[in-house]
Structure formats: structure tokens, C-alpha cells
Amino acid sequence: MASIKDVAAEAGVSVATVSRVLNGHPSVSDEARTRVLAAVRALGYRPNAVARSLRTDETRTLGLVISDVMNPYFTELARSVEEEARALGYSVIIGNADERPELQDHHIRTLLDRRSDGLLLSPTDGGSPLMLDAARAGTPMVFVDRWIPGVDVPVVRADGRDAVRDLVAHLHGLGHRRLAIITGPAATTTGSERVAAFGEALEAFGIALPEAYIGQGDFQAESGRRATDAFLALPEPPEAVFAADNLMALGALDAIRARGMRVPDDIALAAFDDIPWFVHTDPPITAIAQPTGELGRAAVRALVDRIEGRPPQSVTLSARLVVRRSCGEPPDPAKEQRVSHPDELLRIEGIRKEGEFSG
Amino acid sequence: MASIKDVAAEAGVSVATVSRVLNGHPSVSDEARTRVLAAVRALGYRPNAVARSLRTDETRTLGLVISDVMNPYFTELARSVEEEARALGYSVIIGNADERPELQDHHIRTLLDRRSDGLLLSPTDGGSPLMLDAARAGTPMVFVDRWIPGVDVPVVRADGRDAVRDLVAHLHGLGHRRLAIITGPAATTTGSERVAAFGEALEAFGIALPEAYIGQGDFQAESGRRATDAFLALPEPPEAVFAADNLMALGALDAIRARGMRVPDDIALAAFDDIPWFVHTDPPITAIAQPTGELGRAAVRALVDRIEGRPPQSVTLSARLVVRRSCGEPPDPAKEQRVSHPDELLRIEGIRKEGEFSG
DNA sequence: GATCGTCATGGAATCGATTACACGCGGCTT
DNA sequence: AAGCCGCGTGTAATCGATTCCATGACGATC
């Protein structure tokens, strides 16, 4: 590959001049500029980003470590992150932690070694020493979706509290009283928050949430299946199951089918995280939709703010209930919702940013 | 961040010795080695991968440019690619081309600039000059899933010819005679091959494939919808629709539903690319499953072979028909298939590598 | 005891860029 | 006319690693 020296030789100038032309430095004569550009074209020269990074100490690369790429929610998040990053002149390296802390650490380590300018994390656990050290050492970092309490890192996430309350109201309105939840790992905020919100909502309706109705899952389909099996084996099984993510909902659907039962006739089902497929499942699944695309974009903006020396902002958007048929009694067909792009919800719901209310 | 100089100072040796210790060079005294390792630990030193790459001219990074991350087929491909790459000591940078040639070029360019050691491509089109130049210039490269004829680059893909024949036999057996296909862009091999295979299979059954039964799609859900709408508006609409990828099948399902028709009673539906969700749609969709994970792994192995100076091998695996209910007459329930991990198919079907037969 | 080989080590070049500094030149001010 | 400023340019230092080469110590060999 041609280097800047080759270009300089071809154009009959010094490497400094070539560099100045390439970086738009004003102090270059038109004469030199044209000669350099001609040489660049002639040699098909492209600057070596590795060398540039070494010198400037910036790679214009963002690291994104997500819990599970196969989960459509995170796929969409990754997609929007990449789009926004590209718009701001950054590339994204995606690490798939597969819900495994040691894999998460592996990715954080390589991203750090490769000198990513910043990290976008959705922690699978309570935070490894590696991650906490990096945060303390001043590595630009933003948590997205999940976060770790007590760490001074901006958080971009959706608040599902209201939507969960809406869901419980919906279930209650359909006559369901025995409501169960399949939760994620307690070490993740999304795991614990969703049960908490569910519990509070139930309480508001004077419904108890017995231990037996809390199934421990790990955000993977298989755990949804197991938890649902356990529910159905109970002397008094629940009338409705709320899965804290979409994959566990799929597993739950499997388990219900395996017993020859039908949704929603025999049992109601709802999920956190809406995805395009939920429109086409049998039956279409009622879900809580996050403004995924906007979350990804906001996270990138916060991280880039931090990297480029501007004060980064934590952002909380709100999630929203999308009623379909999996909890019973089809709603008025005119009101039935198709949400291929959950972002459309923003136009309906509006965006709430932290600090706009109380500060 | 501590650099190798700091470590050298802390350990009281030269940077050369530190480097030797870190790279396992034999000619280092135990005394020096322990001192260096102690210093490394004390300072929390991590080698700067950027500097190392500049010097050694290798980044241990692979670029993967895929057509559409939101397509579960490619998501799974990306996942298996990352896994195998990690096992071989490489990181993967994923670029999402979104079926747009100019985006594809953007990603190829940044990957080249960042000096990725090799590229894994699934071209959205017939091949841009940039891509062809890079191939000619000797950039290690492997095509996966889709490829470009006439370019000297190894190809890792699945052959769906037999499976398509099986599908046509299945449809024919169910009494369907008017069969239509929604194809991908003709510029992609997967676009044109699938129609070709379909056409040949029909011919074998003495069935014609009129122009009106070939819907032009672009591998996105929306195009599946449009093509299906056109089919249904025909004076004599098809009895079965075969979508050349999973997203277009979803679109087709939408279009059929929108007309108040039912699958499979009013029209049969099948898709290329099997995904876990197809088990849960209404009805479960008959599909042609590719050994996606194995494709990803084989592609990485071929690319790394090429990078490390071993002769790379083109690989062709075979796809396989998975019958569900979307074409009519439910098959014997005992035979109904659940394919969450299409890789399992390998155990059934076996793997065929090019060259094992004729060479 | 001179010579040689082996081993551990350090000095310095190198990868390809950016950029501080110095220099020469021309024009303007006083 | 001297001095100053600003512009365009080149030389060289620098980023953090790897690695070639030289050196000195030591042991073995003759």
C-alpha cells in the first residue's frame, strides 16, 4: 500500500505538506494542493488509520458490548447505534456477551486494548472489576438499557413502569387475577426493575405476587420454557404470564403449546420488548415496546459528547403498552397495533429526558 | 495509560526486554522476566494494540460486511463468525450494508483504512470497483452466502437446489400447480440462483413459470408485501408463493392477511431461510434451512487460512427443506420439525465440501 | 590463555502518520 | 532601509510497540 511518503515523492513535496492537504490545513498553496491531490489519485492512496490513531490517540471507534445479539431487541439497538455513530464519523465494534460475564470482560478488554474512543455497555451482571476500573480510570462510557447503580456513568434507558402498570390494568380488566412473571437475572437492572414494577402495579390492584409466581429466567428462550413449565405444574397455575423479555416469551409459548394449552384461552401471555415478529405469532403477542432506535441514537450522542469533551446527559425515554390478542378478548380491530418500527411510538408518546422535570 | 517505557523503567530493564517477555521470546533471564511481570502487574499495563499493529502490519481484525443485520439469518451468521474468529484470536468488525451498495462501499473503505487483516463479504450487488480493486490488490477476502462470479475469491455458501426441488415436490404433492416466487435482486447470486432452481424444479414437474408469477423483491419485508399484492390481484392468482428470504415471507404473510385470506387454506406459503420464529407464526412456516452457523465458521476458517498463508478452500454445504403447516395438510405431527439451531441439521444431512467429489 | 559460541541485554531503527519549530521570502509599516 | 509579520514549506520529534544488531559476560574448547 502506498504511504504518505510515496505521495510526497510523487508530488515533489514533503510529507508535512501532504498531511496538511489531507487534513484541510489552511496554510497550503493551491499549487501544492493540486499536485498532492493528483498524486493521491494516481497512487490510489488512502491514509493508514492505524498510524493516524497512534499519533493522534483517537481511533474514531466506539465499542458496543451487548448481552445477546440474537435477541431482536439488541439487534435493533446495535443497528441504530451503528447508524448514529456513522453519522458522527465513528465506526462501531460490536461485542456479543451472550449473557456471560467472562465474555463481556473479554470484549471490554479487547476494546480497551484497541483503544476504542468510548464504550457503550449493557452489563450482563453487577459489573466486573475490569469494567469498574475502566470507568474510574476515565474511559468514556455510557450504559444503555441496563446499568449499574452507584457508578458515575451516564445511563440511556427506557422506563417501563407506566407501561407495566398499563399492562396489569389490561390484564385485570380482562378478569385475570393470578398473574405471574418470568424475570431476568437479579444482577441486571432490567431483571430486577421489571419485577419491582410488576409487583408495585399488582399491589395497586390489591393483588399479591407470591414467590411461586416469580419464575427465575436468564433472558433466554429455554429459561422461559422452564419457568412456564413450573408455573403450569402448580396446584393453582397463574391465569397470565408476563415474560420480562421477548425470548423468554417465546419459550413460554413453547411450554404452553407443549401441554396442549392455548393462548389466550387457557392462559394469557405478555412480554417486555416488542418486536416485528410478535405481530405474526399465533396469537399476536401483547408487549411493552421500547423506543429502541431512539435509545441507540441517544446513547451514541451521549457517548460522543463525553468523548469530545461536552457534558454527557443521561436519558430516560418511556416504554408503551401495545395490546394484541395474547391476553384475551381481541381489542377493537381498528385499534389493533402494528409496530414494525417501535420508533413510531415516539411520535405518539413523546420523549422525556431526565432533568426536564425536576432536574 | 502506562506504556512499555513505563514498564521498562519500573522493572529497571530496557523496552526491548519488556517486549521480549511479553511476546514469549526465549532469550530472557528468569530474573528479568519476574521483574517485568511484576512491573506489568503493578502498573496494570496492557500493550497498545494500535502501536503493535502499526509495527507488525497486522490488526488481528476481520471485517464482515453483511447485507442486513435485522435479518435473523444474517444475525446468526454474524454471531457464528464472531465466535469462530474469537476462537482463532481475531476480532470482528461488522458493517451493515442494509442492501445499499454505497453503504457497502463505505464499510469496505473503512475496513481497508483500518487495515483489517481480511474481509468477509456478502455482496449486495455485482461488485463495486472498490471491492474488485481490493480483491485484485490481494486483500484477503472470502464471499459468504452471496458471491460474485468471475472474481477469484473463495466462496462459502449453501446450495439450495435439492431443497428447492424437495419443496416443489412437496407443493406438487399437495395438489398445487400454480406456483409463484418472490425473488431477490438479480444482481445477487442468491437472488438469481433461487429463481433458477425454482424454475428448473417446476420444469421437472412439467409446470411453467410465467413472468407474472415472478415477483421482483429486494429481500425486505415491504417488497414481499408488494409482490404478493400483485400476485393476488392477478385474474388467476397463484396457489402457492415461495419467498426467496424470510423477511419477504413475512411481508407476504402481511399482504395475505390484509386481504382477509388464510394460509394455507387460501394460499400456500414457503420461504428460503429458516428462523426460530417460523415455528411460532400463524401458521408455522415451511422453509428451507441453511446450516448458518457452519457457514459462518467455515467462512472464517477459509479467510484465516488465506491470511495466514494457507490455501483457502471454497465450501458448499447443502440446505434442507423443513416442512411445517403453511403449505397445507399438516404432516404427521411426529415428523413436525422444530429448528431453533439450523446447525443441528448437519448431523442429519452431512456436510459436502467442494472438491470432495470431482475436485 | 586465546578463540569461539551462546546467551541476556540494550540501543536504535522502523512502521505511517501529525505537528511543533525553524526558515526563507515577500510585502507592509514606520 | 530596517524591522516585522505572515505565509508556505520542510526537518525532525513523536506516538508505542517490535526487532535487528552490537556488546559484554561467561563457559567450553583446543
Tell me: do A168 and A141 sit in the same domain: no
**Nearest nucleotide by C1' position to the A20 CA atom:** C18
Same domain assignment for residues A260 and A213:
yes
| pLDDT band at residue A342 under the 50/70/90 scheme | very low
CB atoms within 10 A of CB A148: 19
Residue B333 placed within a domain: yes
Chain A positions touching B78 (Cβ under 8 A) are 69
Chain-chain contact of A281 with B281 (C-beta, under 8 angstroms): yes
The residue whose grid cell reads 435477541 is A71
Per-residue pLDDT at A167 exceeds 50: yes
Coil vs helix vs strand at A317: strand
Indicate whether B321 pLDDT > 70. yes
- Measured to protein CB atoms, the chain C nucleotides within 7 Å are 7-12, 14-20
| B245-285 confidence digits (pLDDT tens) | 999 999 999 899 889 999 899 999 999 999 988 988 888 99
What is the pLDDT of chain B when averaged over all its residues?
Answer: 90
Contact B282 A277 (CB under 8 A): no
Distance CA A34, CA A18 (A): 11
Sort out which chain A residues have CB atoms less than 8 A from B40's CB and list them.
Answer: none
* B287 contacts B273 by C-beta, under 8 angstroms: yes
Which nucleotide has the least CA–C1' distance to B14?
Answer: C10
- CATH number of the domain encompassing residue A81: 3.40.50.2300
Split at pLDDT 50, 70, 90, the class of A205 is very high
Span B50-103, pLDDT tens digits: 999 999 999 999 999 999 999 999 999 999 999 999 999 999 999 999 989 999
The three cell numbers locating residue B191: 437472488
pLDDT band of B351, cuts 50, 70, 90: very low
Sign of the alpha-carbon torsion through A133, A134, A136, A141 = negative
Report the alpha-carbon distance of residue A277 to residue A271 in Å, rounded: 12
In this structure, the answer to whether residues B175 and B124 fall within a common structural domain is no
One domain for residues B149 and B165: no
pLDDT value of residue B282: 81
Smallest CA-to-CA distance from B242 within B231, A34, A87 is with B231
Q: Do A280 and B281 lie within an 8 Å CB cutoff?
A: yes
Average pLDDT over residues A300-318: 96
Chain A residues whose CB is inside 8 A of the B53 CB are 50
Q: Indicate the helix (H) or strand (E) that contains A36.
A: helix A30-43
A1 or A286: whose pLDDT is higher?
A286
Nearest CA among A128, A94, A72, A136 for reference residue A300 = A94
Chain A CB contacts of B44 below 8 Å: 133
What cell numbers appear for B90 in the block? Answer: 481475531
Do B113 and B146 belong together in one domain? yes
Q: What pLDDT does residue B334 have?
A: 45
- Give the Cα separation of B254 and A359 in Å (integer): 45
**Contact residues for B14 (Cβ-Cβ < 8 A; gap 6+):** B8
- The shortest CB-CB distance from B75 to any of A69, A114, A340 is to A69
Contacts of A195 (CB under 8 A, 6+ apart): A181, A183, A214, A244
Convert the pLDDT of each residue in B57-69 to its tens digit: 999 999 999 999 9
Distance, C-alpha B287 to centroid of its chain:
17
Whether residues A254 and A306 fall in one domain = no
Residues B110 and B258 in one domain: no
Provide, as residue numbers in chain A, all residues whose Cβ is less than 8 Å from the Cβ of B133: 44
Mean pLDDT for all residues in chain A: 90
> Residue B118 falls within a domain, yes or no?
yes
Q: Structural domain tally of chain A?
A: 3
Is residue A269 within 8 A of residue A327, CB to CB? The reply is yes
Strands A214-216 and A155-159: unpaired
Q: Is the CB of A14 under 7 A from strand D?
A: yes
Q: Are strands B320-322 and B286-289 parallel, antiparallel or unpaired?
A: antiparallel
Which residues are in reach of strand C, CB within 7 A? A 1, 3-5, 15-16, 19-20, 22-23, 47-48, 51-52, 54-56; B 12-17, 20, 26-29, 31-32, 54-55, 57
Nearest alpha carbon to residue B53 among A138, A127, A113, A87: A113
B250 with A114: Cβ contact below 8 A: no
- Subunit contact B79:A72, Cβ cutoff 8 A: no
The answer on pLDDT for A110 being more than 90 is yes
- C-alpha–C-alpha distance, residues B217 and B244, integer Å: 9
Q: What pLDDT is attached to residue B338?
A: 43
Contact A75 B69 (CB under 8 A): yes
Cβ–Cβ below 8 Å for B133 and A94: no
B251 and B323 housed in the same domain: yes
pLDDT of residue A277: 85
Question: Is A272 inside any structural domain?
Answer: yes
Cell of A33: 494542493
Residue B358 located in a structural domain = no
Spatial neighbors of B144 by CB under 8 A, at least 6 apart, are B77, B81, B120, B121, B122, B155, B156, B157, B295, B296, B299
Instruction: Evaluate if the CB of A13 falls below 7 Å from strand D.
Output: yes
B16 touches strand D (CB under 7 A): yes
Would you tell me how many other CB atoms lie within 10 Å of the CB of residue A9? 16
B17 CA: nearest nucleotide by C1': C9
Q: How many helices (H) and strands (E) does chain A have?
A: 13, 12
Nearest-5° angle of CA B79, CA A299, CA B101? 55
Q: Is residue A39 part of a domain?
A: yes
* CB-based contact B314:B156 (threshold 8 Å): yes
Backbone angles phi and psi of A214, in degrees to 5: -110, 105
Predicted pLDDT at A283:
87
Structural domain boundaries, residue B301: 59-157+294-316
pLDDT at B211 over 50: yes
Pick the range with the lowest mean pLDDT from A45-59, B166-180, B274-288, B329-343.
B329-343
Closest CA relative to residue A122, chosen from A156, A92, A159? A156
For residues A213 and A341, membership in a common domain is answered with yes
**Cell numbers found for residue B3:** 506504556
Q: Mean pLDDT throughout A196-221?
A: 96
Cα gap B259→B145, rounded to integer Å: 34
Q: Do B169 and B274 belong to one domain?
A: yes
* Confidence bin at A127 (pLDDT 50/70/90): confident
Task: Name which residue leads in pLDDT, A127 or B195.
Answer: B195
Banded pLDDT at A331 (limits 50, 70, 90): low
Protein-proximal nucleotides of chain D (any atom < 7 Å from a CB): 7-12, 14-20
Residue B330 confidence class, pLDDT cut points 50, 70, 90: low
Pick among B61, B96, B107, B112 to test the A interface (most A CBs inside 10 A): B96
| Spatial separation of the C-alpha atoms in residues B232 and A273, rounded to whole Å | 33
Q: Across chain A, which distance is largest between two alpha carbons, in Å?
A: 88
Inside any domain, residue A52? no
From residue B109, alpha-carbon distances to A135, B30, B52, B90, B114 in Å are 32, 46, 22, 20, 9
Confidence (pLDDT) at A27: 87
**What is the dihedral sign for C-alpha A109, A113, A115, A116?**
negative
DSSP state of B278: G
Decide if A359 is inside a domain.
Answer: no
- Give a yes or no: residue B95 inside a domain: yes
Residue B227: pLDDT band (50, 70, 90) is very high
Check whether residue A224 and residue A333 sit in a common domain: yes
Contacts of A268 (CB under 8 A, 6+ apart): A171, A174, A176, A239, A240, A241, A326, A327, A328
Q: Where are the beta strands (DSSP E) in chain B?
A: 61-66, 91-96, 118-121, 141-144, 155-159, 179-183, 214-216, 240-243, 268-272, 286-289, 315-318, 320-322
> Chain B: nearest CA to A68, how far in angstroms?
9
For the cut 50, the answer to whether the pLDDT of residue A358 exceeds it is no
Name the nucleotide with the smallest C1'–CA separation from B55.
Answer: C15
Provide the angle, in degrees to the nearest 10, between the axes of the packed helices A129-136 and A101-113.
Answer: 40
* Confidence (pLDDT) at B332: 53
* Residue B257: partners with Cβ closer than 8 Å, 6 or more residues away: none
Same domain, B322 and B203: yes
Of A263-277, B73-87, B115-129, B325-339, the poorest mean pLDDT is in B325-339
CATH number of the domain within which B23 lies: 1.10.260.40
- Residue A22, pLDDT score: 96
